Amino acid sequence: MTADPKARLDAIARDLFGHLPCPSEPCATCTQLVPGTGSATAEVVIVGEAPGAAEDLSGLPFVGNAGKLLDRLLAEAGLARAEVFITNVVKARPPGNRDPSADEVAHHWPWLAAQLDVLRPRLLVPLGRHALGRFAPKSDRISEVHGRVLERDGRRLFPLYHPAAALHNPGLRTTLSSDARALGEALRAGDRKSDPASVSGAGAGNAPTMDERELFTEHFDSDPEAVWSALKRAAATMELHEADDATKTARLSTGVSLTSWGEHLVATVAPAATGADLVVRGRPKGSLLTTKWGEDIHAREVQKDLRTAVKNALIA
């Protein structure tokens, strides 16, 4: 067998295609199989649940709206799609996007196992509970173990919520963004994020982080790029510190971050490091709102002012 990892991955894909025709769902009902794509020398392998409608048509993983969000999360981790390998537990779209059955997962496992044997990634990133369940016991719930390194059966996992979940629940986007940055930190700093089982103290693995707190999510019925452009113009009137086009985040000097997630605006705030009064200058006219960290920060008032500022920028 050739030692070239790309040639070996290509051979696995040919073997997957070669098992057709297959009488079982979803192989028999999908438009085409989706083996996966990316770098043959990737240190990070992204594993989703199964292809969706866009992937079923294109033959490529994560090319729909969830894929666009995944690209942005990779950017927040300091990664590009070309640097990672992306695939799914099941290589064919289940009818109606239903959850794959245990038998279907088992049917497709030999090809995924073979891919992982070639890639031997430094970190394997399962997206969502279904993908996590293939590599970790049921006791590892995605809501409890996301955003940190887990050692399971000789593999180093870094579970994340599935991007599609954040499309339906914008409140998860702040968590996904924070976890993506933690993924980058784990890669750069020797995996300092610890397994919950290794942290002393009851419940330590579930302790909330103090990195940021979501203020609100606002939806705009406009093109995502237009929302981001409008957000930058609006932020320029609010003590803008920096605007990052890669992550579509505008950071204000007051500690408030405004992120454009598609048609949504998500506002988050970092707590004052000293626990002193937090000052939010969110109003275009410069009026102040102050609070102690952990108390209500008048998010509805800030939301109203930011929405007005972005709407005005959209029609400008």
pLDDT at 282: 36
In whole angstroms, give the CA distance from residue 238 to residue 282: 6
Query: 148-199, pLDDT tens digit by residue?
Result: 999 998 899 999 999 999 888 877 888 999 999 999 999 986 644 444 443 3
Residues 271 and 139 in one domain: no
Instruction: Assign 270 a pLDDT band (cuts: 50, 70, 90).
Output: low
Residues 230 and 186 in one domain: no
In a domain, 205, yes or no: no
In a domain, 178, yes or no: yes
Residues 187 and 232 in one domain: no
In a domain, 207, yes or no: no
pLDDT at 93: 95
Q: Which of 197, 230, 250 is the last residue of a domain?
A: 197
pLDDT at 275: 34
Residues 254 and 180 in one domain: no
In whole angstroms, give the CA distance from residue 91 to residue 49: 9
pLDDT at 60: 95
Burial of 297 (0-12, 13-18, 19+ CB in 10 A): buried
Residues 137 and 239 in one domain: no
Instruction: Assign 228 a pLDDT band (cuts: 50, 70, 90).
Output: confident
Q: Which of 131, 162, 197 is the last residue of a domain?
A: 197
Q: Which of 197, 231, 250 is the last residue of a domain?
A: 197
Q: For residues 265-280, give the mean pLDDT.
A: 48
Residues 34 and 130 in one domain: yes
Residues 10 and 135 in one domain: yes
For residue 99, give the CATH number of its domain: 3.40.470.10
Residues 236 and 307 in one domain: yes
Tally of structural domains, the chain: 2
Cα distances (Å, whole numbers) of residue 160 to 125, 129, 155, 157, 204: 7, 9, 16, 10, 19
pLDDT at 217: 65
Residues of the chain with pLDDT > 70, as a percent, come to: 72
Residues 51 and 126 in one domain: yes
pLDDT at 224: 73
Residues 156 and 218 in one domain: no
Q: What is the dihedral of CA 60, 20, 45, 97, to 10 degrees?
A: 60
Q: For residues 52-59, give the mean pLDDT.
A: 94
Tell me which of 117 and 252 has the higher pLDDT.
117
Tell me the residue range of the domain where 144 lies: 5-197
Task: Say if residue 204's pLDDT is above 70.
Answer: no
In a domain, 13, yes or no: yes
Q: For residues 112-135, give the mean pLDDT.
A: 95
Predicted TM-score of the model (pTM): 0.65
Lowest mean pLDDT among 99-103, 179-183, 244-248, 303-307: 303-307
